[in-house]
């Protein structure tokens, strides 16, 4: 057993002393810490969890219904100046999944982390390992927001993915320099305007010549990840891809 596995076992044991092994979604079924306190019944609910499967846009990863047998780029991407080469997501952002992510981020429900991290790892680890990518970078929070939230969900999910892929997690190569408004109520153009100039590279050689994967929790229009990718390219990265846990439709 590695020291990371030992730490996880210790953490699960400690959490198990505080929380009973009950699903934190429905409150009626058994669920263990290693499952993120999400029971099998909730996971298997129709429409609760949807893995992103082809066909999807080759640029932003937006999934499409129906039979599409050729590679394609959606109309949304053709109209935008996206800085990342491709974006992929593990899951469709269903109401069920978004509720768990919201509680994880804003209510500090960290017991959901194994559940969320395992979904990301299941879909992302192999493509990242086989794609020749060299490092992972979590989308940073503005310092004030980081202090308020007490953690960065992208960094924590990125750490789990880094362990699964064996790639380094670079947490100090880009910073958020503008306290942007929340994106949730903004349209596509407003999101892009809101994120303009929001990130800046940190001086150093860590990014130079590297192909990196930017990690975040949810991708909707791609405005945030594109702005961050642009800063990474300015800092010396040769290519930036994106992997997120969930993809908004």
CA distances 97 to 87, 135, 237, 245, Å, are 19, 27, 32, 10
Would you list the DSSP string of 72-93?
---HHHHHS---SSEEEEEEE-
Q: Greater confidence, 161 or 196?
A: 161
Q: Which CATH class is domain 50-247?
A: alpha beta
Q: Are 139 and 154 in contact (CB under 8 A)?
A: yes
Give which of 53, 91, 61, 93 is closest to 77, Cα–Cα.
61
Which two structure tokens, joined as six digits, stand for 146? 């980081």
pLDDT in tens, 182-195: 777 677 777 777 78
Residue 238's pLDDT band (boundaries 50, 70, 90)? very high
Report H helices in the chain: 3-18, 40-43, 75-79, 95-106, 113-130, 143-149, 153-165, 188-195, 223-234
Q: If you search the block for the tokens 């669920």, which residue do you land on?
A: 31
- CB count in 10 Å sphere of residue 165: 20
The top-scoring range by mean pLDDT among 52-61, 119-128, 175-184 is 119-128
SS3 at position 181 = coil
Give the per-residue pLDDT at 73. Answer: 84
Q: Are 153 and 105 in contact (CB under 8 A)?
A: yes
Q: Running DSSP on this structure, what letter comes out for residue 56? A: B
Q: At what angle do helices 113-130 and 95-106 cross, to 10 degrees?
A: 110
SS3 at position 199 = strand
Residue 18's pLDDT band (boundaries 50, 70, 90)? low
Give the per-residue pLDDT at 5. Answer: 52
């Amino acid at each position: 057993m590695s020291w990371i596995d030992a730490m996880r076992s210790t953490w699960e044991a400690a959490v198990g002393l505080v929380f009973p092994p009950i699903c934190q979604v429905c409150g009626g079924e058994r669920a263990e810490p290693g499952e993120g306190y999400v029971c099998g019944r909730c996971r298997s609910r129709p429409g609760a969890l949807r893995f992103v499967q082809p066909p999807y846009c080759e640029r932003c990863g937006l999934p499409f219904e129906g039979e599409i047998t050729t590679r394609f780029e959606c109309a949304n991407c053709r109209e935008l100046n996206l800085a990342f080469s491709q974006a992929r997501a593990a899951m469709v952002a269903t109401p069920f999944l978004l509720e768990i992510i919201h509680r994880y981020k804003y209510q500090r429900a960290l017991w959901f982390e194994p559940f969320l991290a395992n979904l990301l790892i299941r879909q992302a680890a192999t493509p990242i390992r086989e794609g020749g990518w060299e490092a992972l970078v979590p989308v940073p929070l503005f310092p004030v927001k980081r202090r308020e939230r007490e953690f960065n969900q992208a960094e924590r999910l990125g750490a789990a993915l880094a362990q699964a892929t064996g790639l380094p997690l670079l947490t100090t190569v880009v910073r958020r320099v503008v306290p942007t408004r929340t994106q949730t109520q903004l349209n596509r153009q407003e999101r892009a305007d809101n994120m303009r100039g929001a990130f800046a590279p940190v001086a150093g050689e860590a990014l130079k010549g590297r192909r990196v994967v930017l990690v975040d929790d949810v991708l909707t229009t791609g405005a945030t990840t594109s702005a961050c990718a642009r800063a990474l390219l300015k800092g010396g990265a040769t290519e930036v891809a994106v992997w997120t846990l969930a993809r908004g439709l």
